[in-house]
Amino acid sequence: MKAEMIAVGTELLLGQIVNTNAQYLSQQLALLGVDVYYQTVVGDNADRLRHTIEVARSRSNVILFTGGLGPTMDDITKDVLAELLGSELYHDEDALTQMEKMFAGRGTPMVESNKRQALVIEGADVLPNRTGLAIGNAIVHEGVAYIVLPGPPREMKPMFAEQVIPWMKDNGLLDASTLYTRMLKFAGVGESSLEDALRDLIEAQGDTTIATYAKEGEVLVRLATKSDDAALAASKLGEVETEITNRLGQHLYAAEDVSMNEVLVNHLIQHQMTLSAAESCTGGLFAEMMTSVPGSSQVFLGGAVTYSNEMKERILGVPHELLEGESAPGAVSSEAAKAMVEGMQDIADTDFTVAITGVAGPGHSERKPVGLVYIAIGEKGKDTHVEELRLSGDRDTIRIRTVNAVMYRLWRKLQGHG
Amino acid sequence: MKAEMIAVGTELLLGQIVNTNAQYLSQQLALLGVDVYYQTVVGDNADRLRHTIEVARSRSNVILFTGGLGPTMDDITKDVLAELLGSELYHDEDALTQMEKMFAGRGTPMVESNKRQALVIEGADVLPNRTGLAIGNAIVHEGVAYIVLPGPPREMKPMFAEQVIPWMKDNGLLDASTLYTRMLKFAGVGESSLEDALRDLIEAQGDTTIATYAKEGEVLVRLATKSDDAALAASKLGEVETEITNRLGQHLYAAEDVSMNEVLVNHLIQHQMTLSAAESCTGGLFAEMMTSVPGSSQVFLGGAVTYSNEMKERILGVPHELLEGESAPGAVSSEAAKAMVEGMQDIADTDFTVAITGVAGPGHSERKPVGLVYIAIGEKGKDTHVEELRLSGDRDTIRIRTVNAVMYRLWRKLQGHG
């Protein structure tokens, strides 16, 4: 099966956005065992889009389109494709009804042009849009499959995962032998150290491949093996996973594609434990990460973003003499982090309490260097542990690295360590 | 001048990396007034690369290649191009000498395959690599310019800026006229409504083009005109901008590429005004957005993330009888939003105070529907205004849309409206 992708949008040709859709679809198709041979970007221009489709269908069996499904005159993907296939376009009634409901709910009027987002190519299957307006289309025509998806990633991704994959299976476009994969996620360790620890396994890899990817704050290890026997594949993957776990278990926080904040919130839910946070330099980022997980309201009771010293005193009751004065340790100090935990514990009475104070930059503060951060994790009835971090990077990077460090330490604590 | 880009690399087709080179080159070429009509990604495969080049040279005058210049057998860009042009490859002596020096300095041995990085296509100009090993090539052949650049952005970008631009000028590939652009950013309005309001201008556009792009929470309008006279271009763009401002000024929050949180924080800094926030369903996202802007510590004094009712009572002093009980309005109510503003005002004493309470989902709460959100903005010494929103989307989307709505309302307030 030869697949290629066509992204439609002048904003891509002008460099206003990056074609991250190509990356997502390429990764997904690789996992499904589909070879992707080309990715093309073309503007909102009918002649050039037509030319691009003609080239693509002469060399590929599956063509995935992203973008050009919006309501405006620029959005021409379905129009051009329909014309090339010699088909008409019609409006999908269900999509129209849903669209009308949505606009009524919002209290904004639906304009005529919105109806374009409900267009279907005659003979195509409709791919409903659960997270947006423009519906997708999928059609096989003269041996070539055309799959038309919206451009915004938050609409395209669920449509691909939930609808395109089953549609490709139904239409015999996916291999019988399947690629089985396992994702291992590590925190608190860098990619080179992790690779060093696994070097002999990576070098000796056979039909079970081991690939590592570094992301901010975590390293991913992807195990993969192709097989038509699910049990055999599982046993092969399990063997490698066990060996890796033996070596790096203290950093392995998940053996599936979940993120650290989800792991933490789900652990707390399961153990009926609660959490609160007092943040200074991260400005609410830790709270935001925790509360972005569905169900977090059961465990994350609340937080304080105490950016100024006054707020540290008023909300958290941090002593004034600790924050200001000639010989005071100051707001960026181990003492302040500890006092913030205690203040938050008094208010929230949660099982665990996190406090963060530091200098995210770009300017320094209290004549302390950018990147100096104190993180404290308190556990009810136990001593609070404070750690000093010296981080590098710009403001955003320091904030993210701080929150990643806090999450890793909290995870270790929940595992019964540290 | 019609240009297109070809990125060579199987790692792109597998989705292991994103093609950010395409974005950089597209932006640069747009600024230079060169139209980019296509971007293609192809793997490290000679047949498919040859096919891609044949398609490209049939339709474009300038082809920019990135990637495939490394030392390994996979790196075939120069080989395939040389073969297509009927030319030989030879080693550039300067590049070889420099490479040997570099390896000697590093103390690592230079292997035979490294020499491939010094290859030049007969007749091509050499583009030295200041930040890496593989040299670039540039050649005009039968009316088509081929520009071959390395894949790593930190090598490609300086090579483009320092050498490709002068080379293109020398070879008459750059217009005397320059593209002048202006970016207008709108909030609180959808793309279709905005386009409706500008339809006659868009339809009548001449040599000043008007393009709209929707992003989450904002719409971008890009004005562009080509000219060899900067003053004339500015006056043309200014004319269209004035007309657009007359129609949509209440939504136009920036005439440059800044985001709403930056606009808000910078406005508050400039006017020496302060801000605080009490958040429930957004869980700290508003605080996080504000504090991500450098300098925000001057204006954003702090916030409370009061996820549970108890925290709303303890930190903000929201009356218990307002939150719980048979006939209480509950935590998701206009009354609660107002009480949260008042509680936060008491603590922080800031010029402006924001409160947010609602149901982000996926589960409902207090038997109120997902997407029901109350946002309140308080101004010191004035009545607090509460607004009810009915938002659609998943949890993340509702949280982001809520914060976007709050930022827009706050911006309007800072403009002296609402």
Token pair 């409901």: residue:
A101
- B21 and B157 share one domain: yes
Domain total in chain A: 3
pLDDT, tens digit (0-9, with 9 covering 90-100), for A178-234: 778 888 999 988 777 888 889 899 888 888 888 777 777 888 888 888 888 889 999
- B137 and B199 share one domain: no
Optimal mutation site among A5, A29, A38, A350, interface B, most CBs of chain B within 10 A: A38
Give the angle subtended at the CA of A238 by the CAs of A235 and A244, to the nearest 5°: 150
Residues in B closer than 8 angstroms to A17, CB to CB, are 23
- B23 and B121 share one domain: yes
Q: Which residue does chain A place closest to B22, by CA atoms?
A: A15
- Give chain A's end-to-end CA distance (angstroms, integer): 51
pLDDT, tens digit (0-9, with 9 covering 90-100), for A116-140: 999 999 999 999 999 889 999 999 9
Instruction: State the CATH number of the domain containing residue A226.
Output: 3.30.70.2860
- pLDDT mean over B344-372: 91
- A233 and A304 share one domain: no
Distance between B244 CA and the closest CA of chain A, angstroms? 18
Alpha-carbon gap, residue A333 to B69, rounded angstroms: 50
User: Percentage of residues in chain A with pLDDT exceeding 90?
Assistant: 71
Q: Does B252 touch chain A (CB under 8 A)?
A: no
Q: What count of other Cβ atoms lies within 10 Å of the Cβ of residue B280?
A: 31
Whole-number pLDDT of residue A219: 87
Distance between B287 CA and the closest CA of chain A, angstroms? 6
- B189 and B47 share one domain: no
Distance between B134 CA and the closest CA of chain A, angstroms? 24
Size of interface A-B (CB pairs under 8 A): 254
Instruction: State the CATH number of the domain containing residue B298.
Output: 3.90.950.20
Q: Nearest by CB to A105, from B16, B18, B390: name it.
A: B390
Q: Which residue does chain B place closest to A212, by CA atoms?
A: B16
Q: Nearest by CB to B287, from A13, A113, A284: name it.
A: A284
Q: Which residue, among A330, A404, A327, has the nearest Cα to A369 in the 3D structure?
A: A330
Chain A residues 307-346 with a CB less than 8 Å from chain B = 307-308, 310-311, 314-315
- B102 and B154 share one domain: yes
Q: What are phi and psi of A194, to 5 degrees?
A: -65, -45
Q: Which residue, among A242, A123, A253, has the nearest Cα to A184 in the 3D structure?
A: A253
Distance between A17 CA and the closest CA of chain B, angstroms? 7
- A26 and A149 share one domain: yes
CA atoms within 13 A on the CB side of B40: 28
Q: Which residue does chain A place closest to B215, by CA atoms?
A: A152
Cα dist from A175 to A65, A91, A141, whole Å: 21, 33, 20
Q: Does A36 touch chain B (CB under 8 A)?
A: yes
Instruction: State the CATH number of the domain containing residue A55.
Output: 3.40.980.10
- A23 and A132 share one domain: yes
Identify the DSSP state of B283.
T
Residue B105 has pLDDT above 80, yes or no: no
Whole-number pLDDT of residue B176: 67
User: For chain A, how many residues are written?
Assistant: 418
- A299 and A396 share one domain: yes
Distance between B167 CA and the closest CA of chain A, angstroms? 22
pLDDT, tens digit (0-9, with 9 covering 90-100), for B243-273: 999 999 999 999 988 999 999 999 999 999 9
* Least confident range of A45-54, A360-369, B364-373: A360-369
Chain A residues 364-403 with a CB less than 8 Å from chain B = 365, 395-396, 399
Q: At what angle do helices A395-414 and A260-270 cross, to 10 degrees?
A: 30
- B192 and B330 share one domain: no
A37 to B15: CB separation less than 8 angstroms, yes or no: no
pLDDT, tens digit (0-9, with 9 covering 90-100), for A325-355: 889 999 999 999 999 999 999 999 999 999 9
- B249 and B284 share one domain: no
Q: Is A229 or B405 the better-scoring residue by pLDDT?
A: B405
Confidence tier at B226 by pLDDT (50, 70, 90): confident
Give the residue from B121, B138, B170 where a domain finishes: B170
Q: Residue A248 has which token pair?
A: 């790096």
Give the residue from B118, B151, B170 where a domain finishes: B170
B315 to A300: CB separation less than 8 angstroms, yes or no: no
B193 to A27: CB separation less than 8 angstroms, yes or no: no
Give the residue from A135, A170, A205 where a domain finishes: A170
Residues in B closer than 8 angstroms to A295, CB to CB, are 363
Residues in B closer than 8 angstroms to A28, CB to CB, are 15
φ/ψ bin of A379: left (φ > 0), alpha (ψ from -120 to 50), beta (otherwise):
beta
- B233 and B120 share one domain: no
Q: What is the mean pLDDT of chain A?
A: 92
- pLDDT mean over B298-322: 94
Give the structural domain span for A228.
178-254
